[in-house]
Amino acid sequence: MTIASLNAREGMNNPLLLDQLLAPVQEVITHYTRQGRVCSGISDEDFTRLGVWRTLSQACSGRDFLQQQREVFDTALQRSSFFDTLHSARRLRFLAEASFQVYARGRKRQQKQGADLLAAFPELNVRSVWAIDGHKIEHACHALRDAQGRQVAPNTLYALCLHSGLLCHLAPVQGDGEYHHEMPVFRAALPEFSQRERPRRGRTRPPLIIVDPAYVDHAFWDQQRQMRQAGALMIMRAKEDCAPLQVQARAFDGQDPVNTGVEADERVTFAGGAVLRRVRYTDPESGLRYEFLTTDLELRPGVIAWLYLLRWRIEKVFDTAKNKLEEFKAWASGEVARQIQGHFLALCHNLLVLFRGLLDHHFGIREEKLERRRLEQLDRREQVAEAQGARLHPLHRWMPTIVQLSVQFIRSLRNQIIAHLSFRQALPQIRAMLVAYV
């Protein structure tokens, strides 16, 4: 039985669960990709299906995955053909285009449905907001070594849209015996990424890029003009030794609840003439103090602080990849294979987010157990804070409750895909897994 023949098993009106999960990328492949090509071996459609399922399947190796395909899905794949696809530059171009189109169309769909994780900040509804960070995994068994004979952990830059929770592969950083720092890779990739992410017609606000302090060095300050020309403004946490030469206070509304915790909003000048904005913030619950630097001169200071604090969401995505999808090792050696795996990780994450949105929007099925647990945790934190003479920031109550994909949700999808259940058959089990803990 071929992979494509599984599509007809339950009929078009009641597709298999895996087909329903893959529906956004199938639509893109059919109507919106230009890099596709008819192949005599593994088709582009099957290549995409296999890559997404391998990311989701918990297979510990390529051979483990091929054996699963043969014994569970009755799909015999040639080992050489399967592994050859991971080194095809043409497949990489096809996958990169399809993955980005799934992101772009999924983001538009979420906007129409009013699903915005930054809805608490109306000034951001016409601006792209991205958290950027690198994610390291274990090297492949036969990866090249460096000059000293050491293995190099593959590292890839990703960009997480904070409006939607959708992920984009940005650029490879290192691997196969070569070490590189994320900063120059990020700076080299930013202009093309910003161009691709240019706001829609009628939008004039530049996107916001939120980065780790490690991205800030002397070259960073020298290239701020280049960053602005690329159409991006930056938010980052100030380093401890980041001492400005001049400080000029800026006025802000201390009565605005969003500005809770903001101690100062300042214009600062550094050696070399770089002029930035600094926001000094103290968390009203924990008392922890932060300093943030930004090239954005208009947003409320409380928004600047919270956008950086929301950067942790990309770390949660990486945690999901490692501990829930168990994607902690490179599939193959070589830069093309590393990029293909990176695109599949982003694509699989996005398909899961969009599928969860489908369940919510069309069936009223949500992660109720996580919503309840979060509200209970907020109640406990508020009680502890009040007992200590502190308070919870009001934005904790205003922000959407669900961001991270739960392991129970992922397990449910995986188990029912293996059982060859249709989407309709799987819905009761999915609902049960999202309502309560096992």
Minimal CA–CA distance to 325: which of 341, 347, 345? 345
Report CA-CA distances (Å) from 28 to 102, 105, 343: 7, 9, 15
pLDDT of residue 1: 38
Contact 237, 216 (CB under 8 A): no
CA–CA gap between residue 250 and residue 248 (Å, rounded):
7
Please indicate, yes or no, if residue 395 is contained in any of the structural domains: yes
Please indicate, yes or no, if residue 423 is contained in any of the structural domains: yes
Report CA-CA distances (Å) from 69 to 46, 82, 418: 12, 11, 10
Is residue 417 very low, low, confident or very high in pLDDT (cuts 50, 70, 90)? very high
Is residue 158 very low, low, confident or very high in pLDDT (cuts 50, 70, 90)? very high
Number of domains in the chain: 1
pLDDT of residue 168: 95
pLDDT of residue 222: 57
Please indicate, yes or no, if residue 258 is contained in any of the structural domains: no
Phi and psi at residue 138, to the nearest 5°: -75, 145
Contact 49, 3 (CB under 8 A): yes
Across the beta sheet with 155-161, what order do the strands follow? 167-174, 155-161, 129-136, 208-211, 233-237, 289-294, 275-282, 262-269, 246-250
Mean pLDDT over 199-219 rounds to 69
Phi and psi at residue 134, to the nearest 5°: -100, 150
Query: Which residue carries 């939120």 as its tokens?
Result: 210
The angle that helices 423-435 and 407-418 make with each other, rounded to 10 degrees, is 160
The larger pLDDT score, comparing residue 266 to residue 194, is at: 266
- Residue 62, pLDDT above cutoff 70: yes
CA–CA gap between residue 24 and residue 27 (Å, rounded):
5
3-class SS of residue 286? coil
Radius of gyration of the chain (CA): 23
Q: What residues make up the domain containing 429?
A: 366-435
Please indicate, yes or no, if residue 236 is contained in any of the structural domains: no
Minimal CA–CA distance to 186: which of 156, 164, 206? 156
Please indicate, yes or no, if residue 185 is contained in any of the structural domains: no
Contact 311, 299 (CB under 8 A): no
Please indicate, yes or no, if residue 406 is contained in any of the structural domains: yes
Q: How do residues 87-109 score in pLDDT, each as one tens digit?
A: 999 999 999 999 999 999 999 99
What is the pTM for the complete model shown?
0.92
pLDDT of residue 15: 93
Please indicate, yes or no, if residue 392 is contained in any of the structural domains: yes
Please indicate, yes or no, if residue 10 is contained in any of the structural domains: no
Contact 99, 343 (CB under 8 A): yes
CA–CA gap between residue 379 and residue 414 (Å, rounded):
34
Q: How do residues 244-269 score in pLDDT, each as one tens digit?
A: 889 999 999 999 999 999 999 999 98
